[in-house]
Amino acid sequence: MRSSLATAGAATFRHGVHPEELKDATAKLPVERMPFVGEYVLPLSQHTGAPAVPIVVPGQRVARGQRVATAKGFISTALHAPVTGTVAAIEPRYHPSGTRQPAIVIRTDPFSSQRIETEPPPPPDSMTADDVVRAVQDAGLVGLGGAAFPTHVKLKVPEGKRARFAILNGCECEPYLTCDHRVMVERAHDVVEGLRIIMRRVGAERGYVGVEVNKPDAIAALEAVANGDGVEVVPLKVKYPQGAEKMLIEAIFKKEVPSGKLPLDVEMVVNNVGTAAALSDLFRTGQPLIERVVTVTGTGVRRPANVLVPIGTPLRDLLEFCGGLSADTRQVILGGPMMGQAQKSLDAPIVKGTSGVLAFTEPVPLVREEACIRCGRCLEACPMILNPSRLAAMVRKEDVDGLRGLNILDCFECASCSFSCPSHIPLVQLMRVGKAIVRQAAKK
Amino acid sequence: MSDASPRLDIATAPFLHRGLDTRRLMLEVLLSLAPVVVAAAWFFGVGALLIVAASSAGAVATEWVFHRGHRGHRGLGSLADGSALLTGVLLALTLPPSVPIWMAFAGGVVGVALGKTIWGGLGQNLFNPALVGRAFLQAAFPAALTTWTAPGQGFLDVASSTVAAPFAHGAVDVTTTATPLGMAKFEGKLTALAPMLFGNTGGSLGETSALILVLCGLYLLARRAFDWRLPASTLLTVAVVAEAMHWLDPQHNPGALFMLLSGGLMFGAVFMVTDPVTTPITPRGAWIYGLGVGVLVVLIRLYGGLPEGVMYAILLMNGATPLINRVTQPRRYGG
């Protein structure tokens, strides 16, 4: 039994920051299903890797759950119709990244029952390893934590490597977000079932679910279903960015994933808890990734909620479902407030990696950058033990060798540096530029 | 809801900030200096306030002249960040109680001009500006900088030297005394711990009450206004080295407690060693820096020509800071 005692000494990583959690508005709200709307927009690129390739044409009728685009190469994945309807167009549409990108637009058939008629694949244990990987790729599964890395890639352990530990990420360290929290509380069984599928597929000896201690109900729900056979729920300290892959591994195993390496290089695979639940859906019912839980909250949202949203739902419709935006809304952000993306248009759709929609009535504060006083708070915030102050100065001088020498490519842009800088220096923004400069120089 | 999107602001993540800013940090330190200034006036009379005012005026006026074009809050230029005022107050508190106020003013001018602006302003300077001002005064006016008024001589009595005209040789009309360190060095007499703790001894304006300084330090620590490693490392080193020297030669070398409570050490440890700009940015560097300051303080006090060495110890380690930063860059994650 892990109780308050274990909680007091909960594991964590070094450094990091403590933003306000701000999760109260939605943490206790059960997930509600969003009704279907008239039109869905599926950008071909909504995962890490090559964009998907459409296999439908405008005018074609598609059924809910039917594959409409296929993976292009191994690091890529498929897309599926979130509704039964008709392909209206394949054309550039607003993308959460702020650009227009090719997307499949599906118009909903208002008279359809919207029943999914997919067949579940055979039980994963009866399939070959490659068939499991292909089934997951064909189902379009990606990491639901935000980076949207194709899940099947993590399930394929290359020759010569092994994965002794399978880890689920239930940290949800971004302020405001509660979608993973709700999935763990309401679907603990499916989450653990998904973990078991991953463990069997990669041959892991043990499975872990890392959960921050601010979600005691999630920890309790998971522990109630984990009961032994190699699955352990690990309570973790509340600290940002606890949910970063390398930080999660550091917290549980006191082990650092080397620079430029993947968890697999230290014999581990890490997946999000929502992804695990989606994996169990796939093998139980055959349902591909056509919907996800999204937290809609912030001062600009009239009715904050955790919503099960079909992938491709326009932001405008989702916000309307949540009571509409308050008239004085000034910011809309997809994702969390530390790493999310500000939106200019409400025409952008919810994509596979969208964990939250935040709307704020406060304008972006205009703060002036002051001189660096070398206080070192950014060094103490950076989970990758970088020196953001020094790196920022090097970016301004375009000192490529210096940047490389101080390992700028280890930065995963968690923004803890900008968050803690008393001089409001846009550190993480400069780090992004610095990473681009170094990558460009490497290409030459 | 209308079909049109509302006018939305665009920025890049993060959309949250810890809320602590440079100006608040400076104000925090200024606030914590208030009891020190009050104590200085209590022990050395209202003249102390004149000195603080003069030194601050010199520092602030200089900052204004050189940086008035700087964008700042409400037309204040770079004065808005509070750092110039802080330099002035800090400098004043390191000066002897009977120092002429025109010297304090000159110290403030030099501290900001040579200690900060010629380096490029806030954040760019290598040496602590307040100590640059003091080092200048010590070199230019050694006598005035080593004349120590005894505490507790009438609150409203201002030494005539304090208000003397520039370069006039005003007689010191107050009772002078030796500082505890001076007495230990030149007369072999140790001051009792109680006066050093409470502040009833000779010394610079802000340095005499170790107790008040420790409390200020604890306040700033609680407000997370500085890197605790810097004062911790400095004080620990002084204690260890002093105690070791005392063990080697108990006749001549005072023990750790005396070394910690006497002279400018506590003031330096709380307000000078903790200056972020002139000290290492890396955590390991902070330990090394404090170690260096601590060793130098004890060595200068025991073997130098002057009884006190905190100022030079800090300035020397300021100079070593870029080097310390260079050799203490964090290691590569996972490497």
Q: Which residues are registered as beta bridge partners of B163?
A: none
pLDDT tens digit string along B206-217?
998 999 999 999
User: Looking at the complex, does the CB of residue A224 fall below 8 Å from at least one CB of chain B?
Assistant: no
Q: Which residues are registered as beta bridge partners of A308?
A: A33, A293
User: Looking at the complex, does the CB of residue A373 fall below 8 Å from at least one CB of chain B?
Assistant: yes
This prediction has a pTM of 0.91
* Three-class DSSP category at A434: helix
- Please provide the distance, in angstroms rounded to a whole number, between the alpha carbons at the two ends of chain A: 56
User: Out of B3, B16, B276, whose CB is closest to A337?
Assistant: B16
- State whether B21 and A17 contact (CB < 8 Å): no
- Nearby residues of A101 by Cβ (< 8 Å), 6 or more positions away: A43, A44, A45, A92, A93, A95
Largest CA distance in chain B: 88
Q: Measured between beta carbons, which residues in chain A are less than 8 angstroms from residue B13?
A: 333, 335, 337-342, 413, 415, 428
What pLDDT was estimated at residue A146?
Answer: 82
Q: What is the residue-wise DSSP string for A163-215?
A: --EEEEEE---STT--HHHHHHHH-HHHHHHHHHHHHHHHT-SEEEEEEETT-
Tokens of A373: 């006083």
Q: How many helices (H) and strands (E) does chain B have?
A: 13, 2
pLDDT band at A2 (very low <50, low <70, confident <90, very high): very low
- Nearby residues of A63 by Cβ (< 8 Å), 6 or more positions away: A81, A84, A117
pLDDT band at B1 (very low <50, low <70, confident <90, very high): very low
| Contact (Cβ atoms closer than 8 angstroms) between residue B113 and residue B66 | yes
For residue A112, give how far its alpha carbon lies from the nearest alpha carbon of chain B (Å): 26
- State whether A387 and B124 contact (CB < 8 Å): no
Q: Measured between beta carbons, which residues in chain B are less than 8 angstroms from residue A380?
A: 283
What pLDDT was estimated at residue B149?
Answer: 86
Q: In one letter, which amino acid is A201?
A: R
CB pairs under 8 A between A and B: 165
Residue A296: its H or E element = strand A291-297
Whether A419 has a pLDDT exceeding 60, the answer reads yes
Q: In one letter, which amino acid is A131?
A: D
Q: SS in 3 state form for B192-247?
A: CHHHHHHCCCCCCCCCCCHHHHHHHHHHHHHCCCCCCHHHHHHHHHHHHHHHHHHH
Sheet holding A39-43, edge to edge: A39-43, A100-108, A85-94, A61-62
What pLDDT was estimated at residue B150?
Answer: 85
- Nearby residues of B226 by Cβ (< 8 Å), 6 or more positions away: B220, B274, B276
The Cα–Cα gap between A99 and A59 comes to 25
Chain A residue with Cα closest to B83: A373
Interface test with B, best of A301, A375, A419 (most B CBs within 10 A): A375
Q: What does the angle CA B225 – CA B284 – CA B276 come to, to the nearest 5 degrees?
A: 30
* Three-class DSSP category at A341: strand
The Cα–Cα gap between A204 and A367 comes to 49
What is the rounded average pLDDT for all residues in chain B? 90
Tokens of A99: 């650009």
What pLDDT was estimated at residue A364?
Answer: 82
For residue B92, give how far its alpha carbon lies from the nearest alpha carbon of chain A (Å): 22
| Contact (Cβ atoms closer than 8 angstroms) between residue A269 and residue A288 | no
Residue A62: its H or E element = strand A61-62
pLDDT tens digit string along A79-136?
999 999 999 999 999 999 999 999 999 999 999 999 988 888 888 888 898 999 999 9
The Cα–Cα gap between A152 and A378 comes to 36
- State whether B1 and A316 contact (CB < 8 Å): yes
Q: What is the ipTM, given to two decimal places? A: 0.90
The Cα–Cα gap between B215 and B2 comes to 59
pLDDT tens digit string along B36-60?
999 999 999 999 999 999 999 999 9
Tokens of A36: 């279907």
Q: Measured between beta carbons, which residues in chain B are less than 8 angstroms from residue A436?
A: none
Chain B residue with Cα closest to A319: B1
What pLDDT was estimated at residue B55?
Answer: 97
> Mean pLDDT over residues B230-240, rounded?
97
Counting every residue written for chain B, the total comes to 335
Residues 21-80 of A with CB under 8 A from B: none
C-alpha gyration radius of chain A: 21
- State whether A374 and B330 contact (CB < 8 Å): no
Whether A143 has a pLDDT exceeding 80, the answer reads yes
Chain B residue with Cα closest to A317: B1
pLDDT tens digit string along B317-334?
999 999 999 999 999 998
> Mean pLDDT over residues A163-170, rounded?
96
